[in-house]
Amino acid sequence: MWLPLFGLLLGFAIGVLAGWEVPDEYSNYLSIAILAAFDTLIGGWRAHLQRTYDETVFITGFFFNIVLAATLTFLGVHLGVDLYLAAVFAFGVRLFQNIAIIRRLWLAEWAKRRQNREKS
Amino acid sequence: MKRQARSRLLLTLICLIFGAMLGFSYQHAKNEASRREWSDSEWKKEYEYRSALLALQKENRSLKQQLVKKQEELAAWEKKLAEEQANEAGLAKEAEQLRMHVGKARVKGKGVAVTLSDSSYIPSEASATDYIVHEQHVWKVVHELLISGAEAVAINGQRISHRSYIVCNGPVIEVDGTQHAAPFVISAIGNPDVLMSALELPGGIVDELVEDHIDVKVEKQGAIVLDPVFAPQP
């Protein structure tokens, strides 16, 4: 359980300390990629709680969403239409939904535990 | 068990990637933030100042262009004015000289004065007319002076012009309607040496006059002032 968290912290440290530089015009891609990754992670967490977690779906989703979001942004930049807004909207909505589902699952678990305690 | 470990490892890898992206983005945003710390009002203010500055610069430029244009116009005017003044000065000078020549202006200069007097000795009343100054003597002197280069001539102070006439009128001489009696002083402005030697040529006008029993006195004068012609034009 602690290994992924450790990986997250390590990655964060690498990102901060590596000192990579992106030109301003590519910062859009980075933010949309982060949003996509975050959405996938939360989605995976929700799936795990709902016991529908599938590793293949999760991993392919992670990379595919990032690539898709970046592609949309790229297309939007070149077509003059702010298509990355679509990605932001889609991922944002799904993020909220997933978080809401996780909260409800937690609530349900908490209520079940309390019931059990009262019973015993 | 092996499967679970693999999935754990994959999850860790994905978390690592996500973390790296997050960290990178965080650092990037921090760098950007220092660049974009201006608030909206500040942007607005800067925009206002900038547009005011631009307007001022535009105005300045147009004013400068106007100034240059005006200066060019001024230079043109000044040039024209200078030319006109130069022309006027030339004209005025020429007019002054012409006036001097035709006797419409008071003139002053070096010259000679020729005095013709009746002979002091008259042998007999019958031949008295042979011993007095006649008008032809006067105009001979005048002609001689003019031919020798006199610039202005006057008889007894009366200026002679190119339209003057000299006539005999009994005992007196009439010049442009004004009567003059002997002695006649004919003053001429010009080079005194030239005039003098012209008058005193051997066999010249002075000798001629002396032969006609006239008292002739020629003298150089340093400053002769001749009044303009006042006589009514015939």
SS3 for B116-146, per residue? EECCCCCCCCCCHHHHCCCHHHHHHHHHHHH
Per-residue model confidence (pLDDT) at position B81: 92
Among B102, B127, B152, give the residue marking a domain's end.
B102
pLDDT band at B232 (very low <50, low <70, confident <90, very high): low
d(CA B93, CA B78): 22
Instruction: Evaluate whether residue A5 is within a structural domain.
Output: no
Average pLDDT of the residues in A54-74: 87
Instruction: Return mean pLDDT, chain B.
Output: 84
The answer to which of A26-30, B146-150, B183-187 has the lowest mean pLDDT is: A26-30
> What is the predicted pLDDT for the residue at B17?
85
Angstrom distance (rounded) from CA B136 to CA B128: 16
Cβ atoms of A45 and A102 within 8 Å: the answer is: yes
List the domain range (segments joined by +) for residue B183: 107-226
- Sheet hosting strand B152-155, strand order edge to edge: B158-160, B152-155, B184-189, B107-117, B215-226
Least confident residue range of B141-145, B198-202, B228-232:
B228-232
> Is residue A38 within 8 angstroms of chain B, CB to CB?
yes
A81 contact B CB<8A: no
A79 touches chain B (CB under 8 A): no
Give chain B positions within 8 Å (CB) of A4: 8, 11-12, 14-15
- Chain B residues near residue A3 by CB distance under 8 angstroms: 8-9, 11-12
CB contact under 8 A, A20 and B24: yes
CA atoms of A98 and A38, how far apart (whole Å): 11
CB-based contact, A12 to chain B, within 8 Å: yes
User: B11 and A4 in contact by Cβ < 8 A?
Assistant: yes
Query: Looking at the structure, do residues B114 and B69 belong to the same domain, yes or no?
Result: no
Inter-chain CB proximity B21 and A8 less than 8 Å: no
Mean pLDDT within A2-14? 83
Q: How many CB atoms lie within 10 A of CB B22?
A: 18
Q: Assess whether pLDDT exceeds 90 at residue A74.
A: no
Separation of alpha carbons B26 and A19, rounded Å: 11
Which of B10, B15, B21 lies closest to A55 in CB terms? B10
pTM: 0.44
At B173, give phi and psi (nearest 5°): -115, 140
Judge: B12–A6 Cβ closer than 8 Å, yes or no: yes
Contact in structure between B181 and B133 (CB atoms under 8 Å): no
Six-digit token string for A106: 């937690």
Q: Do A11 and B11 touch (CB under 8 A)?
A: no
pLDDT band at B233 (very low <50, low <70, confident <90, very high): very low
Per-residue model confidence (pLDDT) at position B12 = 84
Residue from B7, B15, B22 whose CB has the most chain A CBs within 10 Å, to mutate: B15
pLDDT the model gives residue B43: 85
Shortest Cα–Cα distance, A1 to chain B (Å) = 8
Counting the structural domains of chain A, the total is 1
- Tell me if A7 is assigned to some domain: no
Q: Which chain A residues contact residue B2 at CB under 8 A?
A: none
Most confident of B60-69, B117-126, B181-190: B60-69
- Note whether B154 and B225 are within 8 A (CB): no
Instruction: Based on the fold, state whether residues B161 and B174 are members of the same structural domain.
Output: yes
In chain A, which residues have their Cβ closer than 8 Å to the Cβ of B4?
Answer: none
Residue B29: pLDDT band with limits 50, 70, 90: confident
Claim to verify: residue B93 and residue B113 sit in the same structural domain = no
Are B10 and B86 found together in one domain?
no
Q: Does the pLDDT at position A4 exceed 70?
A: yes
Tell me the range of A26-35, B27-36, B108-117, B164-173 where mean pLDDT is highest.
Answer: B108-117
| Chain A, nearest residue to B22 by Cα | A12
User: Of residues B72 and B27, which shows the higher confidence score?
Assistant: B72
| Number of domains forming the structure of chain B | 3
Identify the domain boundary among B55, B75, B102: B102
Q: What is the pLDDT of residue B35?
A: 67
Q: A85 falls in which pLDDT band (50, 70, 90)?
A: confident
Residues B98 and B113 in one domain: no
A55 touches chain B (CB under 8 A): yes
Mean pLDDT computed over A86-93: 88
- Mean pLDDT over B142-157 rounds to 88
Tell me whether residues B15 and A8 touch, CB distance under 8 A.
Answer: yes
Note the pLDDT tens digit of each residue in A105-114. 999 999 999 9
Average pLDDT of chain A is 86
Sheet containing B178-180: order of strands: B166-169, B172-175, B178-180
Q: Give the pLDDT of residue B36.
A: 65
Query: What is the domain extent for residue A113?
Result: 24-119
Q: Say what the pLDDT of residue B234 is.
A: 45
Q: Give me the pLDDT at residue B50, please.
A: 94
